[in-house]
Amino acid sequence: MTIFHRRLLYIFCILLFLISAPAISFYAAGYEFDFFSGRINRTGILIVETEPKGVSVDLGEKKKYNWLYDFFYQDQELKTPIKLRNLLPDEYEITLAKEGYFSYQDKVKINSGQVALLNDIVLFRRSQPEIISGKNIINSRLSRDGKKLALLSPDALLIVALDGGQTQEINLDKERIESRIAEIFWAPSDKKILLTYQNYPVFNVETGKKELEAKNYFSGNIQSVQWDSFSDNKIYARQNNRLYLLDLAQKKTLFLFNQKAPADFLIKDDKVFFIESKNGDYNLASYDLKTNAFIKRMPVPAAPDYDLMDFGQKLIYLYDKRHSLLFLVDPFSPIPVQNSLANAREFLPLTDGKILYWNDFEIWLYDGAQNDKTLISRLSEKIGKVLAYQGNADYLIYNTRMGVNILNFKNKDNLNFTKILDWQGTSGLAADTAAEKLYFISQFDNTRALWRLEIQ
């Protein structure tokens, strides 16, 4: 090679560097030149994070990217967690898939020079339900700590540890229970259960033994009954509009006072709350059980049929069953009724001061801190029960007549639904604390049996 050719090659390399280096830097910085429009576009970034990890990411058939995307990703299977660069601005139809799990589809808009997030995405396991008990379940109730499920069949009381799946069966030695009217009441420590049928038996969950029959300590029918707020040895009962205390340790009753009201009552923090009505006016009355004295009366909206409920917060819940109205009451505030939730057929208080509530076709979320009510979704099928998914606050589990579904409502404009169980006639949804197993009641031969479904 002559000196001339060497110099020519040298100059060519320098020119190639001067031309290509800015071009590479231009593309590496996330820019793209559109030769058709003659415009410069800036690319975007997509970050995808899922639970579990290792989920395949498919950007769809209309994916657009510059040549650097091919350079980095063309031979690479995209797996979460991942940060994808050099995507041209557009709307992408993302599919997340993993063997053994339901796939997840979503639309994500990539904007010029911005980072789009598809994070906190949960994929749910595909599995077949397994039967836990073939007993005919007529009623069920979750324990106060949410770790155990009590189920009542005509001849037995079943206790299921939701986390481990262990089942304890306590035989009922009297006549068979044929009605759903029989209720289940957990004691404050979740170590005892009171059943409201026949003689109102009290069972020790740890030993499986019946301790006593509450009705034997009263001369007539019991109208309503409740455990004490703190003690497993105190049961309060209303009989003929009088309130009594049954001491389980001493096995004796104590008359407290005349409750001249046909409505429900509530025991909370050594106080009893109940509804009084006179001349069309309704009041929430409070009585101190320590001093045996009335505290105050607070006006509440008129309703002939209130349920009083406590979920371990400072508020008391007054539920007007006839009109599906839930009133949130602070009994010691100058303005006792803090708010009201309409069309609340059922509701579930959450740990962060929020309340999940629903009617036949709508699911709502109330945020007490923001005093805000948000419609999560309006459905075409009648809603049975709704659960908050403990693994992620953006997910709900609900059932309809046609099956069990999971709803991701993080993006209010693009809700994401996954049907995890295509079964008809499910009820009594409950989940373990690790959000890995879902329990439900459904048909098995001629009974309503208890089933379990692995979802994680």
Intervals of the chain under pLDDT 70: 1, 4-41, 62-75, 174-176, 178-180, 259-263
Pairing label, strands 44-51, 115-122: parallel
Q: What is the pLDDT of residue 70?
A: 57
Q: Write the DSSP string, 300-338.
A: ----SSEEEE--SSS-EEEEETTTTEEEEE-TTSSS-EE
Q: What is the pLDDT of residue 42?
A: 77
8 Å CB contact between 404 and 420? yes
Residue 116, sorted as left (phi over 0), alpha (psi -120 to 50) or beta, turns out to be beta
- Across the chain, mean pLDDT equals 87
Structure tokens at 87: 């995507």
Q: Find, among 233, 297, 228, 319, the residue nearest to 269 by Cα.
A: 228
Structure tokens at 64: 């657009």
Q: What is the pLDDT of residue 23?
A: 47
Predicted model pTM: 0.86
Could you give the CA distance from residue 207 to residue 222 in angstroms, rounded to a whole number? 27
**Cα pseudo-dihedral 430, 431, 437, 439, rounded to 10:** -10
How many CB atoms are closer than 10 A to CB 28? 13
Could you give the CA distance from residue 228 to residue 244 in angstroms, rounded to a whole number? 12
Could you give the CA distance from residue 381 to residue 401 in angstroms, rounded to a whole number? 7
Q: What is the pLDDT of residue 3?
A: 74
Q: What is the pLDDT of residue 304?
A: 79
What residue ranges do the domains of the chain occupy? 3-34, 42-122
The model's pLDDT over 218-259, given as tens digits with 9 standing for 90+, comes to: 887 888 899 998 999 999 998 887 889 999 999 999 988 776
Q: What Cα–Cα distance (Å) separates residue 6 from each residue in 16, 20, 42, 192?
A: 15, 21, 39, 95
Architecture of domain 42-122: Sandwich (2.60)
Q: What is the pLDDT of residue 221?
A: 83
